[in-house]
Structure 1
Amino acid sequence: MSTQDARKNVILITFDDAVAFWKYKTAFGEALQTPNLDRICAESTAFQAAYCQAPVCSPSRASFMSGQSPHQSGVTGPYKNYFEKIPAEAMWPYKLKQAGYFCSSGGKVMQGYDALPDEIHQTLFSDNPKKFRGDWQIPEAISIEFGGLRGGKAAKDEKDDPRFYDHQAANSARSFFNNYKEDAPFYREIGFYGPHGPWITPRRFKEMYDEKNFRKPKAWQEGFDESAFMELHNSQNLNADKFKQWRKSVRNYFSALSHTDYHLGRIWDALKASRFADNTLVIIASDHGLHLGERNRFRKHTLWEQVANVPLIIHDPEQPVAQVVSDPVALLDIGPTVMDYADLPPLDGSLGRSLRPQMDWARAPDRAVPTFLHQSAAVRKGKYRFIRYSDGSTQLFDLSKDWWQTRDLGPDHPAYAQMQAAHAACCLEYGFDVTAPLPETGEPQNMDDD
């Protein structure tokens, strides 16, 4: 076998709107059930302080699939076709294809639930486009509603499981493992729909959870220091004091995450039963998280920890041990990490860093990791989260003591000046000058794209 042929295969699995699940295992009383994520973590590296570079789908995916920050690429908002701003050749899967990898698509990874336009697909991939039906197409006649935000819809009968997007995405991946016969290493994308709203699942996943066991964390009791800017640009959409509505809504989200976890397990079992088990790098990530009722929000598009912090797991079959990395890292690091494992040159202009040293038990370098929301930005550095909104207002939180960010430490805190300076320097490095005049057009509001 040639040296090139011996390179690792790469699988990228993305969840949609998935919270950093390890933080929610017992956060609401009723245990979050993710048995397949758990068993994968038992033989992988879990980056528990990973951050998206944008808390909205399109700019986040454009960022981690290109290795560019939102302000480098110009994809700062929910563009329906961000390839008008950033060419397909800028995506790192294109670099793999150019280097001899067989590149295969499968679900929402770069953009949208539909297949990419033919020209873009042909540039990036070696096989044909794949189309999966969406969960939103489940007919009313075969469904039942369990209540909560957006209804809590579920399919009544297991015979309807194949209607679900994630079921089809998993079947497609399993078929690929069974049928791929080429000698070239492969790159395979697997993009899940879940746990994106409206959290439609097969009925049994709703019934996994007893909604009466859900309770709000004690940290919520005294309320939250709010941001007037965010109240204007990302309004509250759920009254968490309406307890029955809130707990049904969390039940719906948990059931959707468990449903996707189930299909992740099907893919994992198929991979490990295949001839590729010992030579395939697996990366699991989400584009961003979601508020689950705190601050009376059940949505994304904010710069607080619960949306910015995302799951990121890397499995190297040569190191099948559990490891937790608590140092802050970025989704932007995925591309450089893949390039490193594929023995390819670093991505031109990318500010991401290979995570391979952390896979080998090294500490991550001390760094500020940013998340951008149009002309507002936040950084995680050390134990602090510093946010500067485009109107100049700021928030500072100590995550080691206040993970829910209930209390803004304010400008008089001893760490404020240092974090403010780190924030400005980080933003400038990533292509955003916080001192520059804002565009006269202002910022779009409530841009919750799909």
Structure 2
Amino acid sequence: MRFHGSPLFNKEIHVLCISYLIRTAWFCAGIVLLASIASQQAIAQSTKATIPIQPKNVLFIAVDDLRVELGCYGQRHVRSPNIDKLASQGALFERAYCQQTVCNPSRASLLTGKSPDQLQVWDLPTHFRIHSPDVVTLPQLFKSHGYHTQCVGKIFHNWRQDEWQGDPVSWSVPSKMHYNSHGNDTPQVEGSLPPNLASGVGGNECRDVPDEAYFDGRVAVSASRVLRECAARERPFFLAVGFWKPHTPFNAPNKYWDLYERSEIPLPRHLTPPRAAPELAMTSARYRGGKDSELLKEMHHGHLAAISYLDCQVGKLLTTLDELSLREETVIVFFSDHGLHLGEHGLTRKTTVFELDAHVPLIIAAPGQTAGTRVSGIAELLDLFPTLTELCGIPEPDGLAGNSLVSFLKNPDRAGKQFALTQTPRPNYPRGELPVHMGYSIRTHELRYTEWRIFQTDQVVSRELYDHFRDPRETENIAGLQSEAAKVDVMADHLEKMINSRR
């Protein structure tokens, strides 16, 4: 298109166009500059909020089948000086609970931050990635944020998952001593094997062998070596150490049995099922001996020896951490995956929702926190995932079922959550099939309320209510009493809401 007119007029138009274009260019450049500054400020604010000045290491200590039976929890008959010392240096949670009372679902839950129902994991063979292939585990998240992550011992579940053998994607290097069976934990010694001074019933063994003859002694040696390797690296580490005891068989070396005089070991006196408890509450693993049987005495003696053996191995690991001067740079977590019955309620083993199976020890020691605190608020193992991300300044992923416990480390007397939810299926080992029934149980400071439901319809077929102020050993189910009907109604409403929030 041509412009018609005088040469002078065309020249003036040309000058005006150039001037307009220059002003427009400066205006646009200003807008871009302001947008760039705003964007950089937003990124800086986000970075400041999520990345710590100095990332903390994590020493993540998991133990197997340890119920709340330690010196630091008030059981003065237990020799556990190293775990007791750790509790005196950190925060001990008096009311911590697992999400399911058997190894695989409990560990899968706390390591993914998801409930057993969300993962669809209720048995030993089912790996959590079968139904949740893209879920990000706790160590996997730390690895993605520059941590060296490593596993020594039993962290994820073990020998029933041959096609998985743990979760390799969670770790920076291959795991060690992580995939085996408790039944294979037999003494490995040079020369002839010393005699067994125990009965041998249930795998009980008392032999004069070194700590390294069994899994946990070798786990402690390997983990201490790995800890030194981690300290030599220039990046923070997440070291998960899984001890196999005090899970059966009770076969600690003889010197740990010698710590206890059998005649002085306290034994349970209530060896029958709770009054009015439904059959679904029980399992087939029954104790049928008397109150003073030699079997009961040896079982508790061997269990205490296993705890003290475990405690010694934990002590070796913590000594190495101190020798490396890493205590002020490391968050230490110590917990058990669930508890255990040893004759109480007429039961042995686990997979109930009674207090002895659901209640677990939990200790967190973080740099800068007040030492020797005791937290009476309710906590769950699900809470470990968001707790560690907050302590280490790592962004918390969406969809976690737990809540951070960091506020308890700052103020142990604060009010926390009202309930902890624990569950267990029937049959108690579904072996890849859907459960027929599911027991869901919530714990408050005063009560434990349980519903047994048909799994696929949610129809309630049995209820239990235990008053822990009057009946801390859960010896009488009072759910059927008319005087407790109002409590049952309130607790049933709370349980329903909690179950739905975890699906």
TM-score, normalized by length of structure 2? 0.78
Match of 2:185 among 136, 140, 147: 136
CA shift at 1:16, angstroms?
A: 0.1
Tell me the equivalent position of 2:305. Answer: 255
Matched, 1:11 2:59: yes
Residue 154 of structure 1 aligns to a residue whose secondary structure is coil
Tell me the equivalent position of 2:216. Answer: 166
Tell me the equivalent position of 1:83. Answer: 129
Instruction: Give ranges in structure 1 of 5+ residues lacking alignment.
Output: 432-450
Task: Label 1:417 to 1:118 Cα distance change in 2 as closer, same or farther (>3 A).
Answer: closer
Alignment check: 8 A CA contact 1:104 1:127 kept: yes
CA shift at 1:347, angstroms?
A: 2.8
Residue 138 of structure 1 aligns to a residue whose secondary structure is coil
Amino acid at match of 1:393: S
Residue 142 of structure 2 aligns to a residue whose secondary structure is helix
CA shift at 1:119, angstroms?
A: 9.1
Residue 377 of structure 2 aligns to a residue whose secondary structure is coil
CA shift at 1:25, angstroms?
A: 6.7
Alignment check: 8 A CA contact 2:126 2:161 kept: no
Alignment check: 8 A CA contact 2:125 2:161 kept: no
Tell me the equivalent position of 2:291. Answer: 241
- What do the CA deviations read for 1:75-124 (whole angstroms, capped 9, x no partner)? 12222534323337421211111111110111101121699868965411
Distance in 1 separating the partners of 2:102 and 2:475:
23
Match of 1:188 among 239, 250, 260: 239
Alignment check: 8 A CA contact 1:25 1:33 kept: no
Residue 333 of structure 2 aligns to a residue whose secondary structure is strand
Distance in 2 separating the partners of 1:282 and 1:309:
20
- What do the CA deviations read for 1:154-173 (whole angstroms, capped 9, x no partner)? 23233xx2221111111122
Distance in 2 separating the partners of 1:4 and 1:359:
18
Which segment is superposed worse, 227-236 or 40-49?
Answer: 227-236
Alignment check: 8 A CA contact 1:238 1:246 kept: no
RMSD: 2.7
Distance in 2 separating the partners of 1:148 and 1:249:
11
Matched, 1:96 2:119: no
Task: Label 1:8 to 1:114 Cα distance change in 2 as closer, same or farther (>3 A).
Answer: farther
- What do the CA deviations read for 1:399-431 (whole angstroms, capped 9, x no partner)? 123221012222421422211211111111111
Tell me the equivalent position of 1:330. Answer: 380
Residue 97 of structure 1 aligns to a residue whose secondary structure is helix
Amino acid at match of 1:267: L
Alignment check: 8 A CA contact 2:333 2:363 kept: yes
Match of 2:93 among 47, 56, 60: 47
Matched, 1:197 2:245: no
Match of 2:264 among 213, 220, 231: 213
Amino acid at match of 1:83: R
Matches within 5 A, 1:391-402: 392-402=461-471
- What do the CA deviations read for 1:262-292 (whole angstroms, capped 9, x no partner)? 1001111111121322110000011100012
Tell me the equivalent position of 1:445. Answer: none
Matched, 1:279 2:329: yes
Distance in 1 separating the partners of 2:88 and 2:389:
25
Task: Label 1:226 to 1:289 Cα distance change in 2 as closer, same or farther (>3 A).
Answer: farther
- The higher-RCO structure (CA 8 Å, 6+ apart) is 1
- What do the CA deviations read for 1:138-190 (whole angstroms, capped 9, x no partner)? 269334141375142123233xx222111111112211222222221110000
Task: Label 1:305 to 1:17 Cα distance change in 2 as closer, same or farther (>3 A).
Answer: same
Distance in 1 separating the partners of 2:238 and 2:293:
45
CA shift at 1:214, angstroms?
A: 2.7
Distance in 1 separating the partners of 2:73 and 2:376:
17
Tell me the equivalent position of 1:71. Answer: 117
Which segment is superposed worse, 15-24 or 290-299?
Answer: 15-24
Task: Label 1:356 to 1:272 Cα distance change in 2 as closer, same or farther (>3 A).
Answer: same
Matches within 5 A, 1:346-361: 346-361=396-411
Alignment check: 8 A CA contact 2:268 2:291 kept: no
Tell me the equivalent position of 2:354. Answer: 304
- What do the CA deviations read for 1:40-92 (whole angstroms, capped 9, x no partner)? 11111011100000001100000000000000111122225343233374212
Distance in 2 separating the partners of 1:210 and 1:25:
21
Task: Label 1:31 to 1:23 Cα distance change in 2 as closer, same or farther (>3 A).
Answer: closer
Tell me the equivalent position of 1:436. Answer: none
Alignment check: 8 A CA contact 1:61 1:109 kept: yes
Instruction: Give ranges in structure 2 of 5+ residues lacking alignment.
Output: 1-47, 426-437, 455-460
Which segment is superposed worse, 188-197 or 31-40?
Answer: 31-40
Match of 1:419 among 491, 494, 500: 491
Task: Label 1:241 to 1:85 Cα distance change in 2 as closer, same or farther (>3 A).
Answer: same
Task: Label 1:23 to 1:62 Cα distance change in 2 as closer, same or farther (>3 A).
Answer: same
Residue 131 of structure 1 aligns to a residue whose secondary structure is coil
Tell me the equivalent position of 1:404. Answer: 473
- What do the CA deviations read for 1:178-218 (whole angstroms, capped 9, x no partner)? 22222211100000000000111111111211111234356
Alignment check: 8 A CA contact 1:230 1:302 kept: no
Alignment check: 8 A CA contact 1:34 1:261 kept: yes
Distance in 1 separating the partners of 2:243 and 2:263:
29
Tell me the equivalent position of 1:444. Answer: none
Distance in 2 separating the partners of 1:187 and 1:173:
12
Amino acid at match of 1:416: V
Which segment is superposed worse, 339-348 or 255-264?
Answer: 339-348
Match of 1:157 among 175, 185, 209: 209
TM-score, normalized by length of structure 1? 0.87
Amino acid at match of 2:68: A
Match of 2:319 among 266, 269, 280: 269
Residue 105 of structure 1 aligns to a residue whose secondary structure is strand
